Structure 1
Amino acid sequence: MCDNSVTWSGWYRLFINGLSAQIPGTCVVVYGCGTTIALWIRGGHPTVEDGVVTRDVCGNDGGYCCYHLSVPIKIKACPGNYYVYELVRPNGCPFAYCADVSSINTSSTAITPVAISTVYLSADPCFNYTVLDNQWRAINNTYASVRNCDQSVTWSGWYRLVINGWNAQIPDTCVAQYSCGTDIPLWIRGGHPTVEDGVVSREVCGIWYHCCYYGFYPVKVKACPGNYYVYELVRLNVCNSAYCAAVTNISATFPTVIPVTSSAEKILESLSSANPTKLASYGNLVLKTSEKLISTLVKPTDTSDSVNFTLSAVEGQVFMVGRQVSLDKIPRLDTTNSSMGIDLIGIAKNNNEKSAAVAFMSYTTMENLLKPDFFNTSNDTIKTMMSTVISATLPRTTNTTLTKPVNFTFRHIREFDPSGSLSCVYWNISEWIVDGCSVLETNSSYTVCSCDHLSTFALIMQTSSPPESDSQLELLSLVCVIVGLVFFSLALLTFALCQWSPGVNNVARINICISLLLAHLLFLLTQQFLSVIRPQQVLCAVISGLLHFLFLSGFVWMFIEAVLLFICVKNLSQISSKKKEVLSSGFMCVIGYLVALVVVCVSVGLVPEGYGSEHCWIKQEKGFIWSFLGPVCVILALNIILFIKIVITLNSTLKKLNAEVSQMKQTKIMVFKTLAQCVVLGCSWILGFFTNGNKELEILFLILNSQQGTFIFLIYCVLNNEVRQQYKKFFRCLCCGHKQH
């Protein structure tokens, strides 16, 4: 055998003659399992709590058990003591997976009654099938179809077989040749599953020289409550072959299950049409059915007993106490995403039988029916279901009066918004209401609710509606950022190509332009392609980290420029002499970028999940935004202090200048430079602290912040006489070159 030629798709559960099987977790001998290289998994099987794990796949060469290392596979342990595997194509031939029943417990738990209620919560094949009647060929040929070749049939979805109103099934034993109105009658090998087995795959065989001479694509089979089967049939690859049907061992229960099928189909249709009235109606039906079914699990006991069950769409626990119970208090009832504490002992004491039972269920998909929008509030907010829907009842208990309030703990199943408002609600026929429930405790992970009655409960968060997208503001932002980028580029070209006097140090200004140019360019590209970038969480987090670094480095360079300006003012008395360079370019570059890099690295180390918000920027949760705002505030405060010091120093210095220097001219130049420098150093960012949704302030902040490149170009290039003279020479040469040409 060689599994390299198999098209593996999705998850698989293994069976051998109807028994659950697993891929061996220890070495398999060479030539085992009907192949040369029998594959086994290294690392052992997981537990239910481990979730999905990845395991290496090994093949024995006769000397070393893991000589052949194939492609790893994923494994999950399922409630009910079985495993499922996401199988992939092995590396070569003849490689094949093995199966083993040695360590699988084949006993089933008594949870069948609840399986019926779960079909309402998902697209279960037991309620999504096509009935085939009088199109099927029975083994005795009485109902043979004229279509004796199923290769031409376009099969789609699940099918239930009926012969003249009787439930039928595909035979699971060999069928005689030329039966069922065809040359090659088909049967399935491996037997039919039970309800607990769920959906299984079965090999399809066709008789010719022997019972399984022809092997066809496997079909999926599911046993449904009501004693019938449904099949996901596939197209055949050989003509004159057709599926068979038999009524052996199947009872004629078809008419009795039609109402259930109709109800389930209506529920599924209502999910797509989203009619609130229908959703509420079918939600109530599910709740009532579930409560009736779970009450069948209650059994008399003198002490205490419990029953747990876990299914794909619902999980729960039933706890019972009797007259001779020795517990001081009821143990906590737990499901994956919720738990409940109730004084069942006190309730039992108030009953004549001195017994009581509590049923606690958690529905994973119930919010599709009982939507959070059914929580009617006066304010216009967005409602989000923050928990699974749970239900608590006291089945087969005479006096259901609570002695103490019941506490429920909900684990948040969605990201917690600190600005949102949480409400513990219960379901009242057609809507969620709050009466009798309150929030005791909450954090980012879970919320504890207290209620004075039992019902169906949930945790709903209300958040403010996001502001509508303003196309004009977005267009203004795009234009402003592009204009700012253009002037940043012009300023960089000017600093790089123009000749400056020896006393002028442009290192800080060049690096300010580089940092802010890259930051604004990256931000612009990110917002333009946000729909593509946002789903890539790692890429979004990396971009937000780069933006953090670039903007911070821009602020650090602004501070360095302020320090240089302060030093310039301090040395104003020596303005006519040749000044010595106070700070080396290399030292400034280290400070300018290292400080920002250290802040970002520390932020990543402390809160690695803080990057990658909805707009690929720093997240607001846990105050992580202060990893940016904190350093910005410090630098702005230092710049203000330096500004004050510059003004004081400038005033005192100019009074001491000799008469050869024009005091008035120098005063005007230095004050203008100081004020302009203050704007360039980031005073526009102060405005960002006071916008608070004010549209006018947001527009002003947008314009000022995006035009930092324009300010730098105007102050240091256009308003600089030396630079203007060089501009004139450049344009004069350019014009002369055109004239000569």
Structure 2
Amino acid sequence: MELKWAFLLLGLLLVVLTGKTMSCGTGFKNVGKQCIDEDECEEHEEDPGICGHNSVCHNTDGSYYCSCQPGFQPTKLNFTGTTGQCKDINECTDKEKMCPENSTCKNSIGSYTCECKPGFWKSTETSTCKDIDECESEEHKCGEHGKCNNLPGSYNCTCHPGYSNYGNNQAKCTELKCDRANITSKQAAMGDLLNLFKSNCQSLSHPKQQHDSGETLLKHLMNVSGQVMSSGNVRDSSTLSTFLGTMEDTLRLIGPQLSEPLTKMNNNNSEACLAVKRDPTPPNGSMIMNTEGVHLNISWKTAAGEKYPGFAYVALVSYNKSLNYPTTPALEDPKAEGRNASYELNSRVVTVLVSNTQTEHLPEPVTLTFKHLQNGAVSEQLNYSCVYWDETRDGGAWSQKGCMTAEFNSTHAVCTWSHLSSFAVLMALYEVKDTFELVLITRIGLTLSLLCLFVCILTFSLCRSIKGTRTTIHLHLCICLFIADFIFLFFISSTTNQVGCAVVAGLLHFFFLSAFCWMLLEGVQLYRMVVLVFHTTLRPLYLFAVGYGVPLAIVIISAIAYSDGYGTERHCWLSLDEDFIWSFFAPVCIVIILNSFFFVITVWKLAAKFSSLNPDYCKLKKLRGFVVTAVAQLCVLGGMWVFGCFLFQEKGTVVMLYLFTLLNSLQGALIFIMHCLMSKTIREEYSKLCGGVCTSQKKRYSEFSTNQSSNSQKPLRSAPSTGESQI
């Protein structure tokens, strides 16, 4: 016993000597040399790391444990230890906590709520969901011509005969107006299109009757309308009004039946784009649509209207020019100022349609941007107008009424409208006024040209010293130009008599083509003289066959193919319709190309001969003169018709008129100068002719020049007298 107390005292002595305190077990702490319980939950009150979020910490003697808050459960099934995490319990999956009938359970963090389904309301007394009678909540829930039927949690609408909600049983009933499908004698050409509208309209009038989907109906509409447009049955304003009106009526039936928010379809004749929205409340915002050559900007407020039926749609349909569109405007054109004006459509015709039936005065304007079919800036001769098809004016006509703003450039037109219909851009082409100066230049120039050509005809037909193939070609060239200029001067504007104007146009067609054919023969003759063999001539039969036979054949074929092409409203010339003008310009282009080829080869051969030591220098020099005059002649006459190509078009300008007139008046004078005055032989003949009336000094000079010329040409006069032998 004494030994035990001795060891205890020794231990205490060691503790005191070493300065160490007494140690406590796990979960305890030393306080005043005493081991007391440590509260782990209190020390970590602000730190959720021990038990995690959504859990409660419980302290025990020497330890602690965790439990989850109500609405949460451990992340592990054996969560009984001192650490862990709690996760939310989805009460909506617990069958014991299901919500009452006609309600849905909504889970939340640590809890849940019960919400009544649409069409039901929550009773605070019984905490149950009761049905809402929608038919009593709003008057005319289904429209004035529909019957509202209440259902548990919902309702439906039954439309009266002649009204429909287009398969949407909760939409208001709107009028169908199927009586528009009555086919008259004038509208029988569009029977298929009207029958499509009638059958679809009648199927909607009877809800129990089966009918095609909106997409199928739109496809049928595009096919039928394409057949009507390509058949050419739309021939007058009344039929066009029926076509456009039937398209609008049918689209009104199809739009609400489309299932997709945006639908596009097209064929070779038209393109359709439809957008549909179905919301309990009217949609807002803007809607932008595009088809080929047309851009539409419209608001959904405009499409929905004040009487919103539960859906809204926007339709944009564009047509090409295969329809026979009348182009005369219903309103007077103040810019015409007494001038003759012609009108044509310069854009695609489009139909803009919305679900709102009250579109005479829109709450917000609609903007259409058109791309011009023919580019051109506004000028004194050209103007644009934004127009719509007004079917109330004389069976239908283009009108500008309702156009708020219009902006035009050379490629596009921007039109803002206060109503909806079928729209387009009308291009007005004004006749260029013939000023006094232009008329004077035309008369003086052509008179001068006729005098010069007449002198040339006398010279080439009476002067024996220049007889030859080239002289024959020049003679008939001058005859053709003389007759053509004479007709042009006195009869080009005689458009009052349609038959007479066609005869004038045919004669001009023939003689101008004949002039080019004789120029082609001159190029062939020069080519044969230089490139092939000298002293080579063309037989008269070949000359007349090409010079008159080819033009006559072209005129006959053209008259048979398109007899209405001779004569226009402005001039007795070839029409631009059906590209008939190319019956003249195509042969002219061919002649110019062939002659250019012959002249290039001829000049190249002449240059090669000049570079060599050729003894026939005089002959080559004369040939060079022949080629230069022939090229100049082709340039003047060909250049004249380059400007003439623009002159006889509707867009002919004053500049083109002046250039054409000047070149037309110069051609006779040029032929006289090049082929008569520049020819030494002809000058000698003129000198002999004038010898009897001139002074003695001029007579002696003329005789001296003639003798000198005769001596210089003496070696060449041994051959028969031809134009080629004198080279």
Shared topology, TM-score over 0.5? Answer: no
TM bucket normalised to smaller: 0.3 to 0.5
TM-score scaled by structure 2? 0.43
Q: Which has the higher helix share?
A: 2
TM-score scaled by structure 1? 0.43
